[in-house]
Structure formats: C-alpha cells, structure tokens
Amino acid sequence: MNIKFFGATKEVTGSCHLIQVNNKNILLECGMFQGSREHEKHNHEPFPFDVSELDAVIVSHAHLDHTGRLPMLIKEGFHGSIYTHHATVDLCEIMLVDSGYIHEKEALWENKKRERKGLELIEPLYTTEDAKRTVQYFKGLDYDQELEVCEGVKLTLRDAGHIIGSAIVELTLVEDGVTKKVVFSGDLGHKNAPILRDPYKIKYADLVVMESTYGDRLHRSWEDTWQEMGEIIAHAKSSKGNILIPAFTVGRTQEILYEFNRHFEEWQLGDWQIFLDSPMGIKATKVYAKHSEVYDKQATSVKASHDGLFDLPNLHMSEATEYSMKINQINSGAIIIAGSGMCTGGRIKHHFKHNIWRKNAHVLIVGFQARGTLGRALVDGTKSINLWGEKMQVNAQIHTVGAFLPMLIKKAYWIGIKASKTSHP
C-alpha cells in the first residue's frame, strides 16, 4: 500500500493524491491550483503519474481546487469511473462547464495579444466540450453506501458538511491479507454551519489525511456572526449605501441566502433590493434546493415552513449581462451577492468599480482569501486597487464577517496525520 501526494501540500489548492494497492491506482481528487499567477501556472504542467494506469478516480466535493483538472484526465485518456456523491455530480456539471468556458475566453484574449505580436497561439487548458465529456464518467453514490471500486479497495462516503454533496472519503484497503482503513477528510464544515449536517464522526482509522486550512485559527460563534451581520446591514441602511458580498458560488452564496431568509424580519431586509448576480450561483442554488435529503434538522424545518430555503420576496436572480449592468445604476439600498469569492474575476469586480470608492458602501468578506488575490488585499487593508488599468481608492468599509472566517487569516498549510510525502499504511 502506498499513498503519494501531488497537491495541497503546504498550500491550500490543487488537491491530488494517488493511492496504490494490489497493483491498482486510485486517484483521489484532481484539483486546480488557484490564487496567484505563479500558483495557476502549475495547472499547465503534466500530471506526475501515468494517466493510462489509473483504475478509478474519487472526488470528495465539487470545488474546483478538488475537481478542476478532471477534464485534463479525460483528454489524456482516462476512461474509467469518477466516484462521488450525487449532489457533487450535479454541481460538477455546472462548475466544470463554466470553468471550460473561462479557459476558452482566457485563451481567446491571450491569443489576440499574441497574434498582434506575431507569437505562437495557445490552446485553452480545456474547453466546455471537454468538461461535458468529463461529466459522463461520473458515478453518483449516496452517503454511507459501501462500494468496491476495484479489487482491494472499498469506498464509503460520509457527510463532510462543507458544501452540498461534500464527503469524507473512507477507504478500506486490502493487500496480501492485510486490511487498513484510510480516511481522507476532504474539506470539512464546522459545527452548526447553515443548511447542512455537522461532519460525520469516524471512530477509527489506521491513517487520516486531514485538511487544515483553518487548522490553527478559531472562528467566532455563529450567534455572534449573525448579530454582526445584522449590525452591518443596519449601519449600511443608515448611511444609505450598497452592500457588496463577494461569495463563492457554491456553498457560501446559499448560506447567505438561507440566513437572509431566516432573519428577514429581524434584519429588516424587506427595505432592500437583494441581487444574486451570478449565473452559476443561480444554478448552484437550484442544486441546493433539489437535494433536501442532506439538510440538517433546522434547514428541513425552514424548508417546510417557508416553502423553500431561498425564496425571498425581494430577491432578484440576475443571469443576463444587461441586467447585471443595470444594477450598477443603484446608488443605495442594494445588497449584491456576486462571484468570484476571492474577487479575482466575475461580476463582483464590476460592482467594485461603481461602489468601492464610495464612503457609504460596504464590502462583506465571507470566505477564505488566498494570498495574491484582490480579496486578500482588501482584507489586509489596501488603500487602492487597480481595475482594468484604472486606479481606485478603497473608501468602502471592509468587513470580515465572523464564523465565515478565522479571527486572523494566516497562510494555510497541509497536515497529514502519520503521513509523509509518501506514506505506507
């Protein structure tokens, strides 16, 4: 038995681990490197293993730092099964296709510059068609369903409580009469997080590989977080400004909408226009609405009493670009939820252009901000930012909100319990 780690080691993104047992090769995660340009260059490097020798792939959840390079596996000849939870299949169908579209656009823009300079043109990392082809290889599983994915490897997915469909990967490995239980935590939710159940507690394992993005930082309580958010909304209302919320389209966006639903009267949200300005966020919210079987007790109750988790009377779903542009004509009374979560792209940057220089505007940071990103610069107190070559003063009030973030953001690192670069359980 052998485990090799090729990503998310001493960094947050690019999860990729190879399990070798009984002459079988199982890939766990195939994530993109995200953050700075230097990190993202790794996405163009060849895989450090022979793709043709892979027997199966297992994915813990849909975030691109765990799934974003899967289309490259298919392009290079992998035609086996990709095992994950049913909800993750639905999310990946959205997220990978969107990622392929972005890669196509990036290659198009780069090639326009290269053509003018007489340079060799480049190919996109992968295309929307590559992504659609990849989804055909997914095999959806339920939580707690045991499946033998190949000889000597039994897989059980346990609820990780991180995003919908997220899983702790529990593997029973058998080789030469020796049985070992190996657990990969995946990304873990924390106790009493909105919508989803708390992470499943596994009582025993021979080897645990655990994510540790916030491993050395404490979070504020959820109760204090909701109080803080209510106070920010009240203050923004009194100052007659807009509220901008850069949010990850899967997970954080749905949590925000859910809490808006729960606190609608308390936070006087009926006095605002609320916009979900994210085509992919809208699609992901529909997946969350579909998979109510994984809700916790509170969310199940809210769904029953409110006829859904996200049905706010003043919520506007903004898919078309033209509609998104019209939002920027509103100078006061708008709450705008948009991607990207680290402010590296997407519609949130356009809303910054029209708001971040305003003293009565507010920006709510509700997710991890990697080093080198615009979101991290805002958290660190930058006084100005550059948007499309234009320098802008940051006069808006920047809030890092409670339980969504550790009390201090520090460079994350990876911890493997009993695991080194190459481990032999």
Q: Are 33 and 344 in contact (CB under 8 A)?
A: no
Torsion of CA 366, 359, 343, 369, to 10 degrees: -50
User: 244 and 211: one domain?
Assistant: no
Does residue 211 sit in the same domain as residue 344? no
200 shares a domain with 274: no
Tens-digit pLDDT profile for residues 83-119: 999 999 999 999 999 999 999 999 999 999 999 999 9
Cβ-proximal residues to 332 (8 Å cutoff; 6+ apart), any chain: 240, 241, 242, 360
Per-residue pLDDT tens over the stretch 116-149? 999 999 999 999 999 999 999 999 999 999 999 9
- Tell me: do 42 and 134 sit in the same domain: yes
Co-location of 203 and 347 in the same domain: no
Structural domains counted in the chain? 2
Q: Which residues constitute the domain of residue 311?
A: 222-404
The per-residue pLDDT for 412 is 34
pLDDT tens, position by position, 246-289: 999 999 999 999 999 999 999 999 999 999 999 999 999 999 99
Task: Look at residue 411 in the predicted model and tell me its pLDDT.
Answer: 34
Cα–Cα dist 20/37, whole Å: 32
**Same domain for 310 and 380?**
yes
Looking at residue 35, what is its pLDDT?
65
Lookup result for tokens 């080194």: 420
Query: Please, which pLDDT band fits residue 410 given cuts at 50, 70 and 90?
Result: very low
Q: Given pLDDT bands bounded at 50, 70 and 90, which one contains residue 8?
A: confident
Read off the CATH number of the domain in which 82 is found. Answer: 3.60.15.10
- pLDDT reported for residue 41: 79
Mean pLDDT value of segment 149-153? 93
Spatial contact of 51 and 76, defined as CB atoms under 8 Å apart: yes
Of residues 401 and 298, more confidently modeled: 298
List, for residues 327-383, the tens digit of each pLDDT value: 999 999 999 999 999 998 889 999 999 999 999 999 999 988 878 889 999 999 999
Tokens of 347: 């519609």
Residues 237 and 130 in one domain: no
- Mean pLDDT of the 15-20 span: 94
Residue 392, pLDDT above cutoff 90: yes
Domain shared by 181 and 156, yes or no? yes
Question: Phi and psi for 51 in degrees, rounded to 5?
Answer: -60, -35
The answer to whether residue 225 scores a pLDDT higher than 90 is: no
Looking at the fold, whether 245 and 366 belong to one and the same domain comes out as: yes
Check residues 179 and 43 and name the one with the higher pLDDT: 179
Q: How far, in Å, CA of 25 to CA of 372, rounded?
A: 35
Same domain assignment for residues 210 and 338: no
pLDDT at 355: 97
CATH of the domain at 260: 3.40.50.10890
Cβ 211 vs Cβ 393: under 8 Å: no
Instruction: For residue 33, give the 3-state DSSP assignment.
Output: coil
In terms of domains, do 133 and 260 share one? Answer: no
pLDDT value at residue 421: 36
Q: Specify whether 157 is located in the same domain as 120.
A: yes
Residue 215: pLDDT over 80: no
Sheet holding 362-365, edge to edge: 315-317, 273-276, 334-338, 243-246, 362-365, 397-400
CA-nearest of 55, 61, 74 to 132 is: 74
Please say whether the dihedral angle defined by the alpha carbons of residues 220, 193, 246 and 85, taken in this order, is positive or negative: positive
**pLDDT score, position 40:** 78
Lowest average pLDDT, out of 5-19, 208-222, 301-315, 328-342, goes to 208-222
